[in-house]
């Protein structure tokens, strides 16, 4: 897994992002820093607790569609492919293949749920 992460200014400089509380923004950055090379992670609550954020911060990221949660407890950073691109020979594929199969990549590079799939918070 890569040790460096990038953030696209088109996402983090948007009014939608900047209107969120600083604690919610911090949670987004910390989750993004710890996600695997395809934007998935299975311990968002651990990160949330470690940096002192509330459940409301997580709920706001979900409501504003910055993260996509799955029933399994795994989340994915919606704009991961806009933020980060890795060469194929340097990428470690995600182990969350079931969750990945529920997603499609939009034309703009953002993940979204396939229409017949449901995610829950």
pLDDT digits (tens, 9 = 90+) for 59-106: 999 999 999 999 999 999 999 999 988 788 788 899 999 999 999 999
Residue with tokens 């987004």: 28
Measure the CA–CA gap between 21 and 72, rounded to whole angstroms: 27
Measure the CA–CA gap between 32 and 5, rounded to whole angstroms: 8
Instruction: Say yes or no to pLDDT of 40 above 60.
Output: yes
Measure the CA–CA gap between 30 and 78, rounded to whole angstroms: 14
Average per-residue pLDDT for the chain: 91
Measure the CA–CA gap between 34 and 91, rounded to whole angstroms: 15
Q: Average pLDDT of 34-60?
A: 96
């Amino acid at each position: 897994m890569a040790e460096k992460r990038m953030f696209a200014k088109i996402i983090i400089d948007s009014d939608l992002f900047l209107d969120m509380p600083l604690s919610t923004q911090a949670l987004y950055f910390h989750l993004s820093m710890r996600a695997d090379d395809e934007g998935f992670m299975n311990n968002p609550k651990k990160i949330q607790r470690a940096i002192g954020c509330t459940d409301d911060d997580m709920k706001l990221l979900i409501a504003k569609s910055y993260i996509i949660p799955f029933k399994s407890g795994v989340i994915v950073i919606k704009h991961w492919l806009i933020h980060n691109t890795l060469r194929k020979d340097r990428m470690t594929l995600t182990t969350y293949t079931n969750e990945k199969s529920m997603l499609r990549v939009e034309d703009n590079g953002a993940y979204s749920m396939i229409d017949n799939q449901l995610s829950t918070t």
